[in-house]
Amino acid sequence: MSIAVYPGSFDPITLGHLNIIRRSALLFEQLYVCVMINSEKKPLFNADERVQFIKRAVVRYKNVKVESSDDLLVRYMQKKEAKVVIKGLRAVSDFDKEFQIALINRQLDAGIETLFMPSSEKYTYISSSAALEMARYGDNLKTFLPHEIIDDVIRKIESEGMMFR
């Protein structure tokens, strides 16, 4: 069985992430979307909230499972018997960082390969940070986020007193 893992912080999941999930689900028999801990980021949503957002957005993809892990990605992949890491790239700057991580992962487990998937053109400008910034200003989020989670994101921004309007 071909198994891949699409790891990320997904704070929150964007339409760009969803595009990578859709395309990856076509290539693999099983795709795990895994909410990981990124020590460089302070997430707005906790891991359980992010998992639930993703589950609601990917319900139509029967071969996609959504989980979270605080383990090293390589260890998580070994537990799942996955051999491929999916990494979406919006720009060349994304590649520099992700290539370095791919080499580290391969050093830890030579059987793991990284598949770099370029973003679809219409999503290259979308990031979770940009979506949250638009939410703070009360802008329309339908071109940034899956419709299933927009109201939740707005509620969280409002409840945290983060709105600028």
Q: What is the pLDDT of residue 40?
A: 79
Q: How confident is the model at residue 165 (pLDDT cuts 50, 70, 90)?
A: low
Question: How far is 51 from 10, CA to CA, in rounded Å?
Answer: 9
Domains and CATH numbers, the chain: 3-122 (3.40.50.620)
Which residues are part of the catalytic machinery? 17, 41, 90, 128
What would the two tokens of residue 39 be? 């020590």
The C-alpha atoms of residue 5 and residue 7 are separated, in whole angstroms, by 6
What would the pLDDT profile of 62-114 be if each residue is shown by its tens digit? 999 999 999 999 999 999 999 999 999 998 888 988 999 999 999 999 999 99
pTM: 0.95
